[in-house]
Amino acid sequence: MPYSGSSVTVTAKNSKGTELFVGTASGVDADSYLDGVAQEQISDVSFPNSATHRFTPGDAKPDADIADRDWWISTDTGKTVAKTFDLDAEPQVLIIAPANSGDSLDGTTVSLQMRVKGVFALSLLGIAGTIMLAGFSVFLFMRWCASRIRPPKKDVGLPSGSGPDSSDSGPGGDSGPGGGSGPGRDGRRPAADRTAKDEPGPATQPISAVQPDTGGQAPPRRRDVRNRRSFRAVTASVLGTGLVLSGCANMPIAKPSNPDTTPYERTAVRPGEAGKFMTNYTESLDKTLGDKGSDLDKIQAAPLIDHTRAQIQIADKAKQKLRAPDFTEVVAGSPNFTEYPMWFYAFGTADKKSTDGDKQLTQVMLVTRESASTDPLVRSASYIPTEQMPALMADDRGAVEKGSEDFSEDLTTASGDVSSFLVDGKAKSGGPEGLKEGGFKGFRDYLGDLRDKDSGFDKVDVDCKPYEDLKFEDMTLSTENGAIGMGEVRCTLTIKAPSDYALDLGDTVEAVKTNDKEGDTIKVDTAHPYVLMKTGDELTAVATDWNVLSSKVE
């Protein structure tokens, strides 16, 4: 809306009884959600009855139900819907659509009303000013005309002492018998002629009495200073009124404006909404775990979804019940808020009852979102001790700077170091700290048990490689003293038993078997998610656990 200083109400009515939906959203969400969908766009409004709009062809409806999206700023439904918004607020996009995906907008009319409080009073003031200006203009014109037709004063152009009241009657005068009209108006000679012939005068005259030869021109007039003063007063009044009105920036009246309507920004998780995301995710995960993994793909994606599916199978085999952790404190950060696809990190401090061990843990989750029509998907999750949680440096919009390129390179190098350590148990010089602790150590201990001579296995080999289907190095965040990112390594164990032994690897491996083949060799796939943190020049890799993904007999 190209106006400011007021509010606008947009009202939509449907004459056929169709249920309507109205919602406001950030432009980045609206553009993504309606991409490829047939729509009528109103891009500019000129009151009272003009609007700029265009039709964009496309699909009949969006991919996802309109009311189910979580990025709406405000929504309403009904046969008549309305939305009032402040023209000086942050730019938003308003969308009107059928509430039910099977309906259409046939019979729908949209109207806009703008609040213009103060316009009537200002209009009266403007009319009064116009009338005053017109009156002064007429007054000045009449004064000017009157000054142009005024006759000259009677004594202008006559010598001193020879005005029309001077008398020439007496001996030798022109009056008398036989006197008629002469050169003068009353039969007398001109005064200058009489003075030269009848009344000798001085040879010279005072300079003040000498009159210039006008040559038949109109006599000079005094300049009318009063008119000029009146004109200056009117001009000053008009200019002063204009300046006063131009300074009324705070008056409650709609004015044309040029708002910066791009880029309709919002963070991937708006400031203050991290807790809402974590709550929704936890509730959805609890429901999914209770339903043995149904709809898990709506909240998780690879590589994490592979871990969860395996855990559901293992818990079912062991007659155990899984549940999502509870969080006491939540933080989220992302540098990506201007376009889809988006990604962000969510950090949730877990309740002590939700995790094992004496130390309080914080779960680190990497979340991605491909478009406004899709839901956020958690791609990776791992725990770190809460005391190691770094401080994120976010701006007033909740955006956190991306980790440096050097840290992205460190993340790539560290994935190789982790893979190498899981194979041989040797931490390379210059590699990240923490490889001999937590989940890394736990996996090495498990290998040691399998390789123990009392285990009965002939051979246990392991091969580990970084997970490459997700570009972890492209999704890192800067912290107060460094950076933070995530990674994962996948390993394959090849376990060979003597031919005369029965192969028994326990409930965990049995639960995730993908075949029923008989044999003396079994392969077990494992996953090792971890968090990499940089503090100053020091790198630390943290893993609290590891996961068995699948197994098969060969």
Per-residue model confidence as pLDDT tens digits over 62-102: 989 999 898 898 999 999 999 998 888 878 899 999 999 88
| 187 backbone φψ class: left, alpha, beta (φ>0; ψ -120 to 50) | left
pLDDT tens readout for residues 267-284: 677 767 888 999 999 999
Average pLDDT over residues 234-249: 46
pLDDT band, residue 2 (cuts 50/70/90): low
Longest CA pairwise span in the chain (Å): 180
Query: Distance (Å, rounded) from C-alpha 486 to C-alpha 532?
Result: 6
- Asked if 311 and 547 touch (Cβ cutoff 8 Å), the reply is yes
Query: What is the rounded distance in angstroms from the CA atom of residue 325 to the CA atom of residue 15?
Result: 50
pLDDT at 139: 75
Residues paired with residue 367 on neighbouring β-strands, in sequence order:
344, 378
The average pLDDT across 309-314 equals: 96
Share of the chain above pLDDT 70, in %: 74
Cα 446 from Cα 527, distance rounded (Å): 14
The band of 447, judged by pLDDT with boundaries at 50, 70 and 90, is: very high
In the numeric block, the tokens 């993504």 are attached to: 32
Q: Which residue has the tokens 């004459």?
A: 15
pLDDT band at 330 (very low <50, low <70, confident <90, very high): very high
Model confidence band, residue 122 (pLDDT cutoffs 50, 70, 90): low
CA–CA dist 75, 68 (Å, integer): 11
pLDDT at 356: 74
Residue-wise pLDDT for 338-379, tens only, equals 789 999 999 999 988 777 777 899 999 999 999 999 999 999
Helix H or strand E encompassing 14: strand 7-14
CA separation for the pair 399, 477 (Å, rounded)? 10
Show the tokens assigned to 167: 């008398």
pLDDT of 22 reads 95
- Confidence band of 124 (pLDDT split at 50, 70, 90): low
Specify the pLDDT at position 242.
47
Mean pLDDT calculated for residue range 403-407: 96
What pLDDT does residue 75 have? 93
Average pLDDT score over residue span 227-253 = 48
Q: What whole-number distance in Å separates Cα of residue 215 and Cα of residue 157? A: 11
In this prediction, residue 220 carries a pLDDT of 52
The mean pLDDT value for 448-476 works out to: 94
* Residue 119 CB neighbours (<10 A): 14
Cis peptide before 341 (omega within 30 of 0): yes
Provide the terminal-to-terminal Cα distance of the chain, rounded to the nearest Å: 68
- Residue 155: predicted pLDDT: 55
Mean of pLDDT values over 20-49: 88
Three-class SS state of 396: coil
Q: Which residues does 41 contact at the CB level (< 8 Å), separation at least 6?
A: 53, 54, 55, 56
> Do residues 362 and 352 touch, judged by C-beta distance below 8 A?
no
**Is the pLDDT higher at 395 or at 304?**
304
Per-residue pLDDT, 183: 42
Helices (DSSP H) in 218-267: which residue ranges? 225-246
Q: 446 or 128: whose pLDDT is higher?
A: 446
Q: Does the pLDDT of residue 320 top 60, yes or no?
A: yes
Half-sphere exposure of 174 (CA within 13 A, CB side): 17
Tell me how far apart the alpha carbons of residues 362 and 349 are, in angstroms, rounded to a whole number: 4
Return d(Cα 465, Cα 452) in angstroms, integer.
24
The span from the CA of 497 to the CA of 500, in Å, is 8
User: Where is pLDDT greater, at 222 or 103?
Assistant: 103
The residue behind tokens 């200056």 is 232
What pLDDT shows up at residue 175? 41
Average pLDDT of the chain, as a whole number: 81
Specify whether the CB–CB gap between 341 and 363 falls below 8 A: no
The predicted pLDDT at position 140 comes to: 76
Angle (nearest 5°) at CA 22 between 18 and 26: 150
d(CA 398, CA 512): 41
User: Which strands sit side by side in the sheet containing 74-78, from one edge to the other?
Assistant: 74-78, 20-25, 93-98
pLDDT (0 to 100) of residue 173? 45
* Over residues 12-37, mean pLDDT: 93
Q: What is the pTM of this model?
A: 0.73
- The answer on pLDDT for 314 being more than 90 is yes
pLDDT confidence bin for 189, thresholds 50/70/90: very low
pLDDT of residue 221: 52
- Is 23 or 114 the better-scoring residue by pLDDT? 23
Cα(40)–Cα(127) distance, integer angstroms: 40
Q: Within a 13 Å sphere around the CA of 182, how many CA atoms are in the beta-carbon half?
A: 15
The pLDDT value recorded for residue 46 is 77
**Burial level of 41, CB count in 10 A (0-12/13-18/19+)?**
exposed
Mean of pLDDT values over 249-259 = 47
CB atoms within 10 A of CB 212: 8
Q: Which pLDDT score, from 0 to 100, does residue 249 have?
A: 42
Show the tokens assigned to 268. Answer: 């991937």
Angstrom distance (rounded) from CA 361 to CA 355? 7
pLDDT band at 212 (very low <50, low <70, confident <90, very high): very low
Looking at residue 475, its pLDDT comes to 97
- Per the CB < 8 A criterion, the answer to whether 329 and 360 are in contact is no
Which tokens in the block code for residue 273?
A: 């909404």
pLDDT at 259: 42
pLDDT of residue 544: 94
DSSP 300: B
